[in-house]
Structure 1
Amino acid sequence: MSLDTLTTPAALVDVNRMNRNIARMQQRLDALGVRFRPHVKTTKCEPIVRAQIAAGAQGITVSTLKEAEQFFEKGIGDIVYAVGMAPGKLQQALALRRRGCDLKIIVDNLRCAEAIAAFGREHHEAFEVWIELDVDGHRSGIAPEDDLLIAVGRALADGGMTLGGVLAHAGSSYEYDTHEALVRIAEQERAGTVRGAQRLRAAGLRCPVVSIGSTPTALCAEHLEGVTEVRAGVYVMFDLVMHNVGVCETSDIALSVLTTVIGHQEEKGWAIVDAGWMAMSRDRGTQRQKRDFGYGLVCNEAGDVLGDYLMSSANQEHGIVSRTGAPDKNIAGRFPVGTRLRILPNHACATGAQHPEYQALTEKGTLESWPRFYGW
């Protein structure tokens, strides 16, 4: 299959850009002297994860136990499930570990820590558990100075579980857009996570792993003293949110959606395309940033950005392409019916999730079909 025969809409991966992004992150973390454990929730795609491992990544991070099962079936066994463990999912986690998967689970409250310990004792399994820390008020986790941290650590250790380390995610880094601010939040993430590990050790509890990560902080941290590993995910594709944050150019974005012009509303300056929100997702993450890209930034079929044209609106299977500012009354001449365009996404994770497979555009200009994993 070639690009000009591909049915639209389709999720395209520019393999050259993807490999460049992988090399950039791996080289940076190698230079900082830490292990890199990529978060694979962005792509959920074996060939992409294989490329990350080939570049030097060690282990993976997942967002669902189904991802862990599917990647383990592909021979990848060093896995962190980086979502707080619900007690009702412990049987699923146990089954993975009994099959030989080196699965690590996380917790950020005493009730779940006690449930894990009780389940583990009942089934004679010493789960490896990491404690999630809150370093920026973004979402979940225990504050590094909170006494709850020690209580959770003791509940795990005294309950016969293996306290593997601490984990944090500076999700608030997505809210910034200057290098200085990102350096500051990266140091806040590092210092808070290292402090949590120090407090556990001072209390006589083991804490071998200190794991941090977000794409912006991984790319902007000035040093990572006390950190043992970094996790990041969206860097492999990048997207318009990351462009607005300031850690990539549009020319770094490796994921796009190929679409075809199917009609016009000339008086409105609209071109209608066959990719709606079912192809792009409903994610409007750039709406809260310094530049709103609507549902995506328009490129030609070769992937070159076409000035200020956006997918400004979307229905389920229809997208509206228009020019920012004054309407383009010559849009039918500019983009005749049958014109094929690429749309760069706001959020690569969300757009990828709309498609059962990626069409990988190789250096030779040929396409390979790369399936994605689904489910929970």
Structure 2
Amino acid sequence: MSRPLIYKGRGSLGNAAGRFEKHTRRAEDDGWGSLDAELPPLQTEIIVDSSQSVISYNDSPDIPFDRSINPYRGCEHGCIYCFARPSHAYLGYSAGLDFESKILIKPEAARLLREEISKRAYRCAPLALGTNTDPYQPLERRQRIMRGILEILAQTRHPVSIITKSALIERDLDILAPMAEQGLAAVYLSVTTLDRTLARKLEPRAAAPQRRLETLDRLRAAGVPTGVMVAPLIPVLTDPELEAIVSAAHAAGAQSAAYILLRLPLEVADLFEEWLRQHYPLKAEHVMRRVRDNRGGKAYDAAFHQRQSGSGVYADLLAQRFRLVCRGLGLTGDLPALRTDLFRKPHAGGQMSFDFFD
């Protein structure tokens, strides 16, 4: 018999080989009770990413930005639903436990960013951070890669939008607040549930829901335009909280709101269903049935303009509920557009002119 790999503080219950691998492994009981022993802590392994560029570009018609930076590949938060998990397969790792314990870091990100935005052909547009993995995951406390990126963006007056579920962003208010005053920064806090017990299972190393609301309040008090991203909205499991989450975020200072329906691409579908059957066995079938109702009978549909909101009667009902709660709270618009006219290219040699700091 095999059993889930339940590591304290980790989201995934398995570590199946990536979809490009030729071989797979799994733990089997040898009859001596070897699988009954408590598993030792799963340590995080830090791997240096040697990429020679840091800005990723996209032309997706349903994404409101065309460029982003991901300081980390993999994410210690361990969110079981994370749509970025399959990206670890390109590195030869598993989308399961490897994704949350083998983290690639980009220590040269700030230098590479400076070089890329100093090129003659570069044209300024808002940079998005936190679009794939969280730039403020626990490792950032020591690595400070995100801090270095923000310092370059502040010096060059380059606009930036950030999505995170971490309170660590408060550390960088000394950079973000002056940028926001110039119309150069905006932040969305991702909130999946207000239930602390559920959050600990869904997002084992992310900030507690109430802590994220406190962060919203502190960002807003510092003058940073803030919004809430109800993401992902999980049918049956978290969608009953939709109105409560938006209302709580509004009370904490959110000026805008958005939501993304649960996305289960590739390996994530099996990982999430395994997690459901372990932690919520009585709801598992109901949740997955509703997921498929929203995705044309499949676990996931990657079609543009549907992948984030789904389709069908249930998805339409969620969209209507979201519109109504936002209208009632006055959250009827997006955050103010970020300015691009203040951007100043850094000198090729790396030294900034003094007027960049005015």
TM-score interval, normalised by the smaller of the two chains: 0.3 to 0.5
* Higher Rg of the two aligned structures: 1
